[in-house]
Amino acid sequence: KMTKVWQLEGELLAGQLTEAAELLKAGELVAFPTETVYGLGADARSTQAVEQIFAAKGRPSDNPLIVHIASIGQLDELVLPYPELASRLMQQLWPGPLTIVLPVKPGAVSPLVTAGLATVGVRMPDHAAALELIGQANCPVAAPSANRSGRPSPTTAAHVLEDLDGAIAGIVDGGATGVGLESTVVELAGDNVIRILRPGGVTPEQLLLAAPDAMIDTPPAKAEATEAPRSPGMKYTHYAPQGDMEIVQGDAVEMTAYIRQAIAQAKSEGLKTGALVFAEREGDFDADVVLTYGGGKRQLEQAAQRLYAALRQFDAEGVQRIWAEGCEEQGIGLALMNRLAKAAGNQVTRL
């Protein structure tokens, strides 16, 4: 199968997405940009279409998919009545990188989308091309991140092609995505508890601003192995590069010394080494591959944007041992540390 690429340049013109929307309607898979990462879209109502998502990604079928909508009006046909707190979050934070888990209307989407749960995760992406595509296709669009399972989420169309060329009908290329990490997934408990199932593009601080009376329930940085995963996706090891990775957090001087020593040791064992650090420390390490998050410590947004491309680059260069500088779990730093810890299989060293 040939994978078509629709290149979007400059202002979005309605006609540019007609063919992509027609393919979605016809039950084909179309990857598209969102503000977080690229999604792999299919008509959420069609089991035959959604089946192809799992096949193309090599994704376990017990992991449910997020349904993307372009307008609040589309929600009525998808979900049962939901709490007032949910509408407040939608009003304040949609379109945006927030997925809300709501009671699903029986029969509204393919059972493959919900993986048999009584709930469905819904979000309205903050991206003009995504909204236009979903609007033109005129259906709820199920879309996981457009990577092969176990690979970092794609933040460019080139990443999608790397993983899925020939396996999907097309890709809408809207350039690099803005946030660079996936959406925050929340469920609501009782009248005023917002439980974060997956930290992401919307920070706990933003949730609290949108719902000042709510309690925010944040998951522990390290999920307890014994606890049944609330968000089915959390139990899979995602985002892991092929090289063995360790996150190092703490005082800059100690961290630099620790990583330098570890690199020297690994090199003496003949291993290919990599380091991922903030730009101000780029020159401090003599790893075989030194990548930066860009900016200084406080520019966590830029770090989030670059993380997945960096992990892909380590793989492309065959790096065997990776050390990455951690950050504080504030703002987008919470999601960034969550993805770093996952990529490192929870090898996080706090100095």
Least Å from the CB of residue 204 to Mg ion? 21
Peptide bond into 64 cis (omega under 30): no
| 199 counts as binding ligand TXA under rule CB under 6 A | no
Nearest to ligand TXA of 144, 274 (CB atom): 144
Measured from the CB atom, is 18 or 119 closer to ligand TXA?
Answer: 119
Distance between CA 303 and CA 333 in Å, rounded? 9
User: Binding string, 138-177, against Mg ion, x = CB under 5 A?
Assistant: -------x--------------------------------
The reply to whether 120 sits near ligand TXA by the rule CB under 6 A is yes
Does position 219 bind ligand TXA by CB under 6 A? Answer: no
Site string for ligand TXA, 85-114 (x = CB under 6 A): ------------x-x-x------------x
With CB cut-offs between 5 and 8 Å by kind, which of Mg ion, ligand TXA, none does residue 99 bind?
Answer: ligand TXA
Stretch that binds ligand TXA, among 229-237, 242-250, 255-263, 287-295 (CB under 6 A): 229-237
Among 24, 29, 34, 160, binds ligand TXA (CB under 6 A): 34
Q: Which is nearer to ligand TXA, 90 or 275 (CB)?
A: 90
| Lookup result for tokens 């299989």 | 345
| Binds ligand TXA (CB under 6 A): choice among 79, 143, 247, 344 | 143
Length of the chain counted residue by residue: 351
User: Which residues ranging from 149 to 178 are in contact with ligand TXA (CB under 6 A)?
Assistant: none
Q: State the residue for tokens 């504080």.
A: 328
Three-state SS string over the chain comes to: CCCEEEECCCCCCHHHHHHHHHHHHCCCCEEECCCCCCEEEEECCCHHHHHHHHHHHCCCCCCCCEEECCCHHHHCCCECCCCHHHHHHHHHHCCCCEEEEEEECCCCCCHHHHCCCCEEEEECCCCHHHHHHHHHHCCCEECCECCCCCCCCCCCHHHHHHHHCCCCCEEEECCCCCCCCCCEEEEEECCCEEEEEECCCCCHHHHHHHCCCCEEECCCCCCCCCCCCCCHHHHCCCCCCCCEEEEEECCHHHHHHHHHHHHHHHHHCCCCEEEEECHHHHHHCCCCEEEECCCCCCCHHHHHHHHHHHHHHHHHCCCCEEEEECCCCCCCHHHHHHHHHHHCCCCEEEC
Residues annotated within a binding site for ATP: 59, 63, 119, 143, 145, 153, 198, 239
Cβ at position 162, least distance to Mg ion in Å:
15
Residues 183 and 203 sit within 8 Å (Cβ to Cβ): no
Lay out the site mask for ligand TXA across 242-281 (x = CB under 6 A, - = otherwise). Answer: ----------------------------------------
Q: How far is the CB of 234 from ligand TXA (least distance, A)?
A: 6
**Partner from ligand TXA, Mg ion, none contacting 183, C-beta within 5 to 8 A by type:** ligand TXA
Rg (CA), the chain: 20
Binding residue numbers: 36, 59, 63, 68, 119, 123, 143, 145, 153, 183, 198, 239
- Which residue number, 152 or 274, has a Cβ lying nearer to ligand TXA? 152
Applying CB under 5 A, the residues found at the interface with Mg ion are 145
Binding site for ligand TXA (CB under 6 A): 34, 36-37, 39, 63-66, 97, 99, 101, 114, 117, 119-121, 125, 143-145, 182-183, 185, 197-198, 231-234
